[in-house]
Amino acid sequence: MHGWNDFSDNSNFHFHDFPTPFYDLNQNELPVSSDNTVSRHASNKFPLHLIESLFEVLINLEEPISELLNSLSLIARRVVVVHDPLMAFVAKEASSIPNGDSYCFNVCSAFGLLYFKWVSLGCSYSIPNIQTLCEYLTADDHLSKIDGSFPDAFLALIASQMEFQQFDVGELHNTCYPLESKFIDLLGQEPFLAQDHRQWALGPLNVVTVDSTESSESRHECLVWLDSQPKNSVIYVAFGATITLSHEEIMELATGLEHSEQRFIWVLRETDRADAFVDGGEACNIELPEGYEERMEGIGMIVRDWAPQIEILAHPSTGGFLSHCGWNSCMESLTMGVPIAAWPMHSDQPWNTVLVTDVLKVGLVVKEWESRSEVISSTMIESAVKKLMVSEDGHEMRERAEQLGVDVRSSVISEDGSSNAELNSFIAHISRP
């Protein structure tokens, strides 16, 4: 786990195992997108197979969580529950014990959360005298960039949990003021924040003092390779743990990277090359252009297993990140001062793309969200990579990203940093008499 100190005293941490139901994916139909195609070939890459299993887990966890909270209530002065928005039912359970508090931990950007809440209000709320997100998104060109990013099944899952958020005492956000001060402040205004709720922006919740060049026998081979590359010369390519690219997309991406003539590290893991629901879950054999890895030797590195993403982004040789723009990846990249080439594929990723490219101006768009049903060409990928890595515009993005990274890290590291202050405020709040 990133940031976990194996030598620290963890004696105060105790883990409780909940019984989880067996869920046989093979007994269910293949997950399909709105255009009835299997996930690997769908225009929206959302992992639909997770939805049905999540509903099953929610049903089976209510009673054991209630039992645990009641047992803790008897031995603790206060029981503090921090939950994901998709597990909001635990807020009601926490409110049922006399010394229980619950807090929703929002794992998306403040920008994205504000947009989602604004849409749930019918896109009709505005705040006078300032340029708000609501005003910004009124323009059709921005709305089209983030429309339709969640499948109906996932929206139904969110809706099933929204009623329970009334039992929360407050909200936590994995973001910080240097990144999203305007949007964090707007979330604290009515009607976006429930009455009497408080909020804290505690992010980034990742490692902000990584030394990716530290000598160690256990260092990943890609970090050793980065040591021999010029500063800011390598673009890191990774699409998270749930994204599955089609064969056509992999071929176009491979060709685009080659023709860009830029150094790269490409994480091409199991999720990128297999349907977990085809042939009993066996991986599909990936096909790269003939002789590709031989031609790319010394120029690019393909990593076929887990890669130390934070350490790669922190390495001085890394100058860009070709990403799906999941919020964790955005936070890690911007914390390390690395600009982003955005290729959004589902969920909050289109929202984050707008934030990174249009608001913060620390990145560019590789593939527009409204073109998600099309296979992006290698020419477009080549152009985007070159623009980010070697153009004057890319250089300016990198300078802004580097300064933003300094500010984000300072918010956590500095004694008077905003995230440090927010964390201290939250701890004081839950430790109150």
Q: Which residue has the higher pLDDT, 28 or 204?
A: 204
Instruction: Outline where 167-269 has alpha helix (H).
Output: 177-187, 221-227, 247-260
Whole-number Å distance between alpha carbons of 11 and 172: 25
pLDDT per residue as tens digits for the range 156-191: 777 777 788 889 999 999 999 999 998 898 888 877
pLDDT value at residue 216: 59
**Least confident segment among 118-127, 301-310, 346-355:** 118-127
pLDDT per residue as tens digits for the range 140-154: 454 444 566 666 766
pLDDT value at residue 269: 75
pLDDT per residue as tens digits for the range 238-290: 998 777 788 999 999 999 999 999 999 999 976 543 344 444 444 455 789 99
Is the Cα torsion angle 418, 165, 114, 124 positive or negative in sign? negative
Q: Is 88 exposed, middle or buried (0-12, 13-18, 19+ CB in 10 A)?
A: buried
Whole-number Å distance between alpha carbons of 428 and 321: 37
Q: Does 34 have pLDDT greater than 90?
A: no
Is the Cα torsion angle 17, 22, 28, 30 positive or negative in sign? positive
pTM over 0.75: yes
Q: Within a 10 A sphere around the Cβ of 65, how many other Cβ atoms?
A: 18
